[in-house]
Amino acid sequence: MPHRVRQVEAIANGTVIDHLPSRVTLKAAGLLGMPDDQLFIGVNLGTNKDHPGKGVIKIANRELSDLFLSRLAMIAPGATINIIRDYNVVQKSPVRVPEAFTDIARCPNRNCVTNHEPCGTRFDVQSQDPLTVCCHYCEREFEAAGLPLL
Amino acid sequence: MGINGAGRWLLDASLSCGVYRSVQCRHGAHVPQAIAGPSIGSILPSVSFAGRHICSITDLSREDLLTVMANAREIESAPPVGLLDHRVMATLFFEPSTRTRLSFESAMARLGGRVIGFTDAASSSAKKGESLTDTVRMAASYSDIIVMRHPREGAARLASEASAVPVINGGDGSNQHPTQTCLDLYTICKLFPGLIDGEELVITFAGDLRYGRTVHSLLNALTHFPVRLQTMAIPGLEMPDECLQLAVKRGIKVDEVPDLQAAVASSHVLYMTRLQEERFPDPVELAHIRGSYRLHAGMLDEAHPHLRILHPLPRIHEIAPDVDASRHAHYFAQAANGIPVRQALLAMCLGVL
């Protein structure tokens, strides 16, 4: 049996965000803000010639806000959320991609009315893989991962 | 729904065979008029538009479009008097417009309605810093329907969310101009009624296909019908991929044609668009493109017998004045179709039709 080495420290209680693309892992961690407790970040885990590797974020003693989960769905729609209690996974669920993202990101189209009027933004999901969205107002399509978050 | 199969339009018949007659309009162009065969009027309006906003062509289904066509045809054939008596239309034009504003105002006036509004942002409270939604809320309280043109993309959608009365988009930046698309489609349906029930029409888009909003919207609308599309783009200004993908997704074939000569020989409809000269800062390059992209009467000798040339106007250099007198020129008749189409849309959104 191969010897398994834990690459990122385990947490007793909290949340593990798994299956993040490595390239967005640091961005996702940044969205959490400065945590009060332990935070572990791993990138390029399991990288080999056939697999680009993944990212993992472990946050001790904290469950994630709806706002964070919406933002996470935009940049990492394939991620999974694990709730940890006493070192065990008690709940595992994929990130839920909504039909529309409201007030999560800014429209990159500089001439979009949302960049010039006091109003919110909304992006309607067009396709899942890759996740593309359409601005509800200017009707331009974008890859969700590249949108500037609010 | 559909037209009488016995009266389908005849693609290979000569224009002089009696399917169409040609009348000379005041601009000197010969305007073909369908005098036999099917009419759009045989389609029964089936969708209620009462209270609806018209922000984008993507909001309109095939049934919606057919209902607009049918109502426009009905209004054109028997102009109703006083249909919109005592109704008020607010025109909020935050940037200049000639055809759109005048045709909306004319459409409303001819149906007995009244018009209030402004014709540029400088004469509105926007200059004082008022938000668009505040301006729209105020205008909605003074009117029964709002027609708006704005330089920002998405402005009409935002306005519709603030308005208690229907908002019709008269152009929002480079995004949408749905009433132009409806009148383009109406023009094509009048010329070629078989479009509606299965005859394959060849429609070529020529010019600036990248930034021209009219071609994007018309392509979207045409994908509801069994057309074959061709493109002849100025190099570097090709049709965006998302437009082509939409056509493919809806089973519409899109081919490229190399030049205008090939386009006139192979098309039933040649939809020309203006060269947006501001996108070519190099005057030498601009002069070269102007020369290579100009339709003149001599190029029409080999034209498809049913070819009709459309253009959303204003045309600049891309169509020589000598084309105007050709039986193939149809752009002024196309612009005139803006009246019945906009009359229909106003009456429909106000719940009168």
- The number of beta carbons lying within 10 Å of the beta carbon of residue B95 is 15
d(CA A87, nearest CA chain B) in Å: 47
Q: Pick the residue from chain A with its C-alpha nearest to B56.
A: A139
Enumerate the H helices of chain A as residue ranges.
Answer: 22-31, 66-75
Distance of CA A19 to the CA centre of its chain: 10
Q: B127 falls in which pLDDT band (50, 70, 90)?
A: confident
What separation in angstroms does the CA of A102 have from each of A30, A32, A70, A119, B314?
Answer: 20, 19, 9, 11, 38
Between A73-87, B44-58, B258-272, B273-287, the lowest mean confidence (pLDDT) is in B273-287
Question: For B167, phi and psi rounded to 5 degrees?
Answer: -115, 130
Q: Exposed/middle/buried for B136, CB within 10 Å: 0-12, 13-18, 19+?
A: buried
End-to-end Cα spacing for chain A: 47
- The number of beta carbons lying within 10 Å of the beta carbon of residue B220 is 20
Q: Are B12 and B171 a contacting pair, CB within 8 Å?
A: no
Cis omega (within 30 of 0) on the bond before A130? yes
Point out the residue among B58, B155, B174 whose CB comes nearest to the CB of A113: B155
Enumerate the H helices of chain B as residue ranges.
Answer: 62-77, 99-110, 132-142, 155-162, 178-191, 213-222, 241-249, 260-266, 283-292, 331-336, 338-349
| Closest residue by Cα to residue B173 from A137, A123, A147, A148 | A137
A114 touches chain B (CB under 8 A): yes
List, for residues B268-318, the tens digit of each pLDDT value: 999 999 887 777 778 888 888 887 789 999 999 999 999 999 999 999 889
B62-77 vs B338-349: helix crossing angle, rounded to 10: 110
Length of chain B: 353
| pTM given for the model | 0.85
Give chain A's count of helices (H) and strands (E): 2, 9
Give me the residues paired with residue B208 across strands.
none
Point out the residue among B132, B151, B242 whose CB comes nearest to the CB of A117: B132
List, for residues B238-256, the tens digit of each pLDDT value: 999 989 999 999 999 999 9
Mutate to test the interface with B, among A102, A110, A117, A123 (most CBs of B within 10 A): A117
Tell me A112's DSSP state: B
Are β-strands B227-233 and B201-207 bridged in parallel, bridged antiparallel, or unpaired? parallel
pLDDT beyond 90 at A131: yes
Task: Report residue B69 as tokens.
Answer: 């066509």
d(CA B342, nearest CA chain A) in Å: 23
